[in-house]
Amino acid sequence: MPPPSRMLLSGDEAVALAARDAAVALGTGYPGTPSTEILEAFAGLGCHAQWAPNEKVAFEVALGAAFGGARALVTMKHVGLNVAADPLFTAAYTGVSGALVVVSADDPGMASSQNEQDNRRYAVAAGVPMLEPSDSQEAYDFTAAAIEMSERWKLPVLLRLTTRVCHSKSIVHPHEIPGPPAPPRFERDIRGRVMIPAYARPAHRRLRAKLAEIERWNESSPLNRRIDGDPAMGIVASGVSYVHAREAAPHASFLKLGVTYPLPMELIRRFAAGVKRCVVIEEGDPYLVESIRAAGVSVEGKAEMYRFGELNVARVRRILAKDTSPEPAPPAGKPPQLCVSCPHRTVFEVLRKLNCIIAGDIGCYTLGVLPPFEAMDSCVCMGASIGVGLGLRHVLPPAEARRVVSVIGDSTFVHSGITGMVEMVYNPPATGHVLMILDNGTTAMTGLQEHPGTGRTLNHEPTGRVVFEDLARALGIPHVDVIDPTLDPAALEALLADRLACGKLSLIVTRRPCLLAAGRIKEYERAAAGRESCETSAAQGRTDGE
């Protein structure tokens, strides 16, 4: 059956479809809004997709696949690239044999994130080419283009998306994408891939030479487009900002940039010279405007107030009108909250009752900071609860130190909490410490994804499981308890009070499935049990037949 010629897809789905059409061999990543749906859609298309414990591991797995000559995709939200930054920077030196597309899904306006960092800076810092699609069609086209560029220049390529590109749906016309030039095979390249200083020094020069070549190519790349309109007003834009600007200034001339690193500076210079007023419209940091000005091209940027939050048509109109009057605040909606009967509720009630100082972490349970609980004192990044809790314990007076608890979710613990637990064993505070893993059996916040602690793969098939309490015991933590917080809140309170007082290291796992996931988890378990009994009887059938 031929594929449909016209589809309504989110940007995330479009990336997945392009990856499928390009025969990407492996997609890996860690769930994070707004990137999560890419791998789910890729798996739904029958392709090989898997969740890694965190973005660094995901990146390394994808890099290995690309060293092996395959096409690989790794997906993450913007803060995930901080975790994966270590391999990113050196992978720019080693380059790849196949293709490696790194998706960074940024969240300007922080719809569901702890910061609004602008990851276009990573392309510059690491020295990897960057593409920025504006809608789902471009998400499809640019994924294919990123693969082509990655194979041509043997470099990882950053596909930088934002929330409105990831989650907006628009029309996509899929097309033929050429397949990989050769099947995966290992080719030894010690000087190219073993980054000891002696081999890394020439590798850095190779990288800069490649980037210079890409810059020349980008001057005439079809991924950048000029739309000639009124020469009185010229707008340089990329990503979703471009469509806002087209709507805000329909008659203006446009230079729409698809490849935003390395920048096609001569193209920009010619465009700016041909218009009376040249304005750069970009969301977030003044990345384009600073780069263009540094090249000696005079362009207008936006007022500092528009650095914060997302852009939209109204804000672009204001930027073009140089309007810096205060913006009307949108009426407040109803804030999210922990579900009624959520197992986390009991935990935060107990923590509050015992007057704990709570080093918190990232997940649904971060909502424990809101009334009526207000039971969280810090939330910084994935896994920070443990280190921050330990730091507080080390310096606070003993009476206060004994109130400090680190609270982390199950998926977050696997992501970045294990090394924190090792630190706890290695540098125990004088008052001991209490670590609580709120284990609801899923990555709830991002929409119920599996993780290594659930013992099921991305496709919900059984696999190896990391058992938190076993891990803690193996590390030598003296008190390790597992308790159902909903079943007996009084028992949880008594246990926590005791562990806070004992002065030793303690792990309490509060284990009860997320209400939203419980039904599905039972289904997965039933399906797995059914398959297992089929396999057993099939195996017996074979034995009997011999």
Partner 1 sequence: MANKVVNVVIAGLGGQGVIKASDILADAAFRAGYDVKKSEIHGMSQRGGSVTSDVRFGEEVLSPMVPTGEADFLVAVAADQVESNRHQLRPGGVLLTAERIDETALANRRSLNVALLGALSVHLPIPEADWLEAVRANLAPKLHDANLQAFELGRSAARSGKV
Both tokens of 145, joined, read 């283009």
- For residue 255, the cross-strand partners are 226, 236
Q: Is 459 in the site for partner 1 (CB under 8 A)?
A: no
Residue among 108 and 417 whose Cβ is closer to partner 1: 108
Site for partner 1, residues 353 to 392, rule: CB under 8 A: 364, 367
Q: Which of 26, 96, 243, 384 binds partner 1 (CB under 8 A)?
A: 243
In the list 187, 213, 228, 247, the residue contacting partner 1 (rule: CB under 8 A) is: 247
CB of 5 to partner 1, least distance (A): 13
Identify whether the C-beta of residue 73 lies closer than 8 Å to the C-beta of residue 62: yes
Residue closer to partner 1 (CB basis): 8 or 491:
8
Note whether 332 binds partner 1 by CB under 8 A.
Answer: yes
Under the binding rule (CB under 8 A), the answer on residue 4 touching partner 1 is no
Nearest residue (CB) to partner 1, 126 versus 139: 139
- SS3 state of residue 491: helix
**Is 330 near partner 1 (CB under 8 A)?**
yes
Q: Which is nearer to partner 1, 44 or 184 (CB)?
A: 44
Q: Under the criterion CB under 8 A, does residue 338 sit at the interface with partner 1? A: yes
Task: Please give the Cα distance from 52 to 128 (Å, whole number).
Answer: 23
Contact indicator for 15, 157 with CB cutoff of 8 Å: no
CB of 364 to partner 1, least distance (A): 7
Q: Are the beta carbons of 36 and 447 closer than 8 angstroms? A: yes
User: Could you tell me if 225 and 271 are in contact, meaning their C-beta atoms sit under 8 angstroms apart?
Assistant: no
Q: Residue 531 Cβ, how far from partner 1 at the closest point, in Å?
A: 23
Q: What is the dihedral of CA 206, 208, 210, 213, to 10 degrees?
A: -140
> Minimum distance from CB of 447 to partner 1 (Å)?
7
Smaller CB distance to partner 1: residue 446 or 454?
A: 446
Q: Which of 114, 337, 378, 457 binds partner 1 (CB under 8 A)?
A: 337
Judged by CB under 8 A, the residue of 125, 171, 209, 212 near partner 1 is 171
How far apart, in whole angstroms, are the C-alpha atoms of residue 419 and residue 82? 17
**Smaller CB distance to partner 1: residue 382 or 401?**
382
Sheet holding 505-511, edge to edge: 357-359, 404-409, 433-439, 505-511, 479-483
In terms of Cβ atoms closer than 10 Å to its own Cβ (0-12, 13-18, 19+), residue 520 is middle
Residues 513 and 521: beta-carbon distance below 8 Å: yes
Site size toward partner 1, by CB under 8 A:
37
**In 3-state terms, what secondary structure has residue 273?**
helix
Q: Are 456 and 450 in contact (CB under 8 A)?
A: yes
Residue 313 touching partner 1 (CB under 8 A): yes
C-alpha distances in angstroms, 74 versus 148, 157, 404, 454? 16, 11, 37, 22
Interior angle at CA 458, CA 416 and CA 98, nearest 5: 85
**What's the gap between Cα 458 and its chain centre?**
16
Interaction between residue 33 and partner 1 (CB under 8 A): yes
Site stretch for partner 1 (CB under 8 A), options 91-99, 161-169, 262-270, 472-480 = 161-169
Q: CA–CA separation, 469 vs 467, rounded Å?
A: 6
Least gap, CB of 369 to partner 1 (angstroms): 12
> Binding of partner 1 at residue 523 (CB under 8 A)?
no
Q: Which is nearer to partner 1, 16 or 203 (CB)?
A: 16
Q: How far is the CB of 188 from partner 1 (least distance, A)?
A: 44
Told to check if 168 binds partner 1 by CB under 8 A, we report yes
Residue 446 binds partner 1, judged by CB under 8 A: yes
Residue with tokens 């041509």: 152
Does residue 111 interact with partner 1 by CB under 8 A? yes
Task: Give least dist CB 164 to partner 1, A.
Answer: 6
Q: State yes or no: cis peptide before 372, omega within 30 of 0.
A: yes
| Cα Rg of the chain (Å, integer) | 26
Residue in 18, 73, 445, 505 binding partner 1, rule: CB under 8 A: 445
Give the nearest distance from C-beta 32 to partner 1 in angstroms.
10
The least CB distance from residue 383 to partner 1, in Å, is 20
Nearest to 35 by CA among 76, 68, 1, 74: 76
Q: Where are the beta strands (DSSP E) in 421-512?
A: 433-439, 479-483, 505-511
Confirm or reject binding of residue 299 to partner 1 (CB under 8 A).
no
Compute the distance between CA of residue 442 and CA of residue 454 in angstroms, rounded to an integer.
Answer: 7
Smallest distance, partner 1 to C-beta of residue 167, A = 6
Kindly state whether residue 163 participates in binding partner 1, applying the rule CB under 8 A: yes
Contact between 251 and partner 1 by CB under 8 A: the answer reads: no
> Nearer Cβ to partner 1, position 108 or 452?
108
Residue 335 within binding range of partner 1, rule CB under 8 A: yes
CB of 119 to partner 1, least distance (A): 18
In angstroms, the CA 518 to CA 536 distance is: 27
Question: Looking at 293-301, 347-355, 442-450, 522-530, which segment touches partner 1 (CB under 8 A)?
Answer: 442-450
User: Which is nearest to 27 in space by CA: 19, 18, 17?
Assistant: 19
User: Which strand (E) or helix (H) includes residue 172?
Assistant: strand 169-172
Q: Which residues bind partner 1 (CB under 8 A)?
A: 8, 33-34, 111-112, 135, 163-164, 167-171, 240, 243-244, 246-247, 312-314, 328, 330-339, 364, 367, 445-447
